[in-house]
Structure 1
Amino acid sequence: MASTHHPARSIPRRLAVVVTATVLGAGLVVGSAQAEPDRADAVAQVEQAFNAAAAVNEEVNQLTSDIASAQASIAALDAEIAEIQADYDEQRDALGSVIAQQQIDSPLGTTASLFGSDDPTSFLEGLSAVQAFNSSQAEALDAASSTADDLASRQTQLEQLSAQLEADKADADTKQAEVQDAYDAAQAQLSQLDEAQRVQFDTANTTSLPANPGAAPSAFSGSAIDFALSRIGVPYRYGGNGPDSYDCSGLTKASFAAAGVSIPRTASAQYSASTKVSMSDIRPGDLVFYGSMSHVAIYLGNGQVVEAPSSGSSVRVTSMRSDFTKAGRFG
């Protein structure tokens, strides 16, 4: 019986194997190419999550600052009210005493007593005295009335401040819970990154800015830098003011306070209070900010900053990121 083997038919089979392998290989390449954007997207999402938490944290910091300011204003207003109340009580008692004595001396009234006088000279003198007395009493009444109005105004201010204080406290509590939820969610996302993604997360968006030749920090900026560098390794914590933990603006405020310079508590307030500087003109000791004002750091020179990172890491020195788009200087 003739053989049924046909060598020619084996060629398509070999081609099919090659084609299949090629397609599979191409699929692996495509899959790898797709993995890179996915990896970058995952890292970007984690960054956005931490930035969102940091932004809400700065709102909490501002509310905390507002609460402290309101409490100080209320204390000062309480002292003013007590002083005004004492003045009012004194004026009221003095007027009461004069009126009571007048009733004792002239039950029918001073003017009625004058009309009973037969001596014209005494009458005129007495009339002048009555007019002077009435004028004095009118001034005293006006003064007491003004004091009463001032007292009422201060009491209204106190009520408004107290109401705002309670509203700010409630808002701060709500936003603090938001910060914790956002931070927990960001940490959960961070824990899902693989090792390569973690490395990418730690070094994402880094860029080197040219050093500013000859530009050196001022004396107090140098002291601020020294303090910040001394805090390397101290844990990050939302709302941290030191010395055991810091958030970003807590570290910058503490650093400048150590140098003898008082700056506001939050990133946005620090930027508003600073002298604005172009990013191309920054020098060591300047503060650099995210455009969203969710983060602030101290520029060290050579494209590096010292910061309390919003990612929950410890205080560190790191390369400038492209998110830093604004700068401010004190002194």
Structure 2
Amino acid sequence: MSSVRVLLRALVPAVLTAALVAPMSGARAEPSAGELTQQITKSSAQLEKVVESYNKLNEEIKSSRATATALGARIGPLEQQVAQGRTEAAEIASRAYKTGGLSGASALLGSGDVSTLVGRLGALNQLARERERQIEGFDATQRRYAAEKAQLDVTLARQTAQVKQLAASKKKIEGELAKLYDMRRAAYGSATSAGSRYTGSVPSVSGKAGVAVRYAYNAIGKPYVWAAEGPNGYDCSGLTLAAWRAAGRSLPHNAAMQWDAVAHIGRGSLQPGDLVFYSGLGHVALYVGSGKVIHAPTAGESVKLASVDMMSPYGYGRVR
């Protein structure tokens, strides 16, 4: 037997063995705790963006509905004025028609002469023209407002559809999070981090900012709940909204819209009660002093006290 055949006979079993063993040895093991944490962090960041977009649409819808209601209230009286004007115009036309006949002329003349009749007919025609101009004005105004209201209705329908789309996206992400939480539960015995109430001393801050800061400290330990603004749970912009609402200030339920509503300041000017923005305006927290913020982190976690540099800040704002 040639040396080549001997070599081939020796190699074939080894190759087969390697082929059988390779898939088993190459099979991916269960994700480690660190890998699971990274996956959950990534999915949570995606979810937060969806939630904040959902919150923004809700704010826009509320604004549009308020505008539509105001327009509707203004259109109603206009419609009544137009209807009244048309009725008066019809009466004027009827009177003008009747005065055009011989009997009508005789009635208008009475004991007067032809010049009196001509004068009366001229005044009647002038009145009719003025009424027509009024009606045209009413009609133009009504058409303008009706067009604006129709445009708002279209906007509301589009925004409502977008909210449904975002809710579907959120549901998909939450489904993926649920799978990761199942694996985390298997690894750690719990899918979420347990939150606990704050029992330390609350900084003494005066004025409305102090009210907002105290509210945020009292919220520590409460769960993150998407699109929620308390009192039993919060998302990030819901927490800052609720804290400042307690202090008598109104903020929209969206981090980016809150950025537009506050006065922008530098880091060196930070004071308790100011807002700190992160993740390209996708996250917001309340500054409470001493380099700390309170925020609602993400799904599966609770409101907590953290360093202002827990992430790279996008910017800083003061509630006006």
Give the TM interval when normalised to the shorter protein. 0.7 to 0.9
Aligned pairs (5 A) from 1:211-222 = 219-222=207-210
From the superposition, tell whether residues 130 and 104 of structure 1 become closer, same or farther in structure 2 (CA, over 3 Å): closer
Q: State whether structure 2 residue 244 is matched by structure 1 residue 253.
A: no
Unpaired segments of 5 or more residues in structure 2? 1-31, 195-202
Per the TM alignment, residue 315 of structure 1 is displaced from its structure 2 partner at its CA by 1.7
* Map of 2:83 onto structure 1: 89
2:63 aligns to what SS in structure 1?
Answer: helix
- What is the alpha-carbon distance in structure 1 between the residues aligned to residue 48 and residue 98 of structure 2? 74
Q: State whether structure 2 residue 244 is matched by structure 1 residue 264.
A: no
* Map of 1:105 onto structure 2: 99
1:292 aligns to what SS in structure 2?
Answer: helix
Q: State whether structure 2 residue 269 is matched by structure 1 residue 275.
A: no
Q: State whether structure 2 residue 225 is matched by structure 1 residue 231.
A: no
After the TM superposition, which of the residue ranges 257-266 and 133-142 deviates more from structure 2?
Answer: 133-142
From the superposition, tell whether residues 161 and 141 of structure 1 become closer, same or farther in structure 2 (CA, over 3 Å): same
Aligned pairs (5 A) from 1:150-299 = 150-189=141-180, 192=183, 219-299=207-287
Rg larger in structure: 1
Code of the aligned partner of 2:135: A
* Map of 2:13 onto structure 1: none
From the superposition, tell whether residues 326 and 187 of structure 1 become closer, same or farther in structure 2 (CA, over 3 Å): farther
- What is the alpha-carbon distance in structure 2 between the residues aligned to residue 328 and residue 146 of structure 1? 47
For each residue in 1:135-192, what CA deviation from the matched residue of structure 2 results, as whole angstroms up to 9, or x when unmatched? 2211110111111121122222222211211111111011012122223324534554
The number of aligned residues is 274
From the superposition, tell whether residues 278 and 109 of structure 1 become closer, same or farther in structure 2 (CA, over 3 Å): farther
Code of the aligned partner of 1:273: A
- What is the alpha-carbon distance in structure 2 between the residues aligned to residue 97 and residue 218 of structure 1? 69
Q: State whether structure 2 residue 122 is matched by structure 1 residue 131.
A: yes
2:297 aligns to what SS in structure 1?
Answer: coil
Per the TM alignment, residue 45 of structure 1 is displaced from its structure 2 partner at its CA by 4.1
**Aligned match for 1:325, one of 292, 314, 319:** 314
- What is the alpha-carbon distance in structure 1 between the residues aligned to residue 56 and residue 253 of structure 2? 7
- What is the alpha-carbon distance in structure 2 between the residues aligned to residue 76 and residue 108 of structure 1? 52
Per the TM alignment, residue 322 of structure 1 is displaced from its structure 2 partner at its CA by 2.4
Alignment check: 8 A CA contact 1:216 1:284 kept: no
1:64 aligns to what SS in structure 2?
Answer: helix
Of all paired residues, the percent bearing the same amino acid is: 26
Per the TM alignment, residue 248 of structure 1 is displaced from its structure 2 partner at its CA by 0.8
Code of the aligned partner of 1:91: G
From the superposition, tell whether residues 108 and 52 of structure 1 become closer, same or farther in structure 2 (CA, over 3 Å): farther
Q: State whether structure 2 residue 305 is matched by structure 1 residue 314.
A: no
* Map of 1:141 onto structure 2: 132
- What is the alpha-carbon distance in structure 2 between the residues aligned to residue 126 and residue 218 of structure 1? 82
1:312 aligns to what SS in structure 2?
Answer: coil
* Map of 1:14 onto structure 2: none
Code of the aligned partner of 1:134: N
- What is the alpha-carbon distance in structure 2 between the residues aligned to residue 319 and residue 80 of structure 1? 51
For each residue in 1:198-230, what CA deviation from the matched residue of structure 2 results, as whole angstroms up to 9, or x when unmatched? 9xx99xxxxxxxxxxxx9855111101111212
Structure 2 length as normaliser, TM-score?
A: 0.76
- What is the alpha-carbon distance in structure 2 between the residues aligned to residue 78 and residue 265 of structure 1? 26
Unpaired segments of 5 or more residues in structure 1? 1-37, 203-214
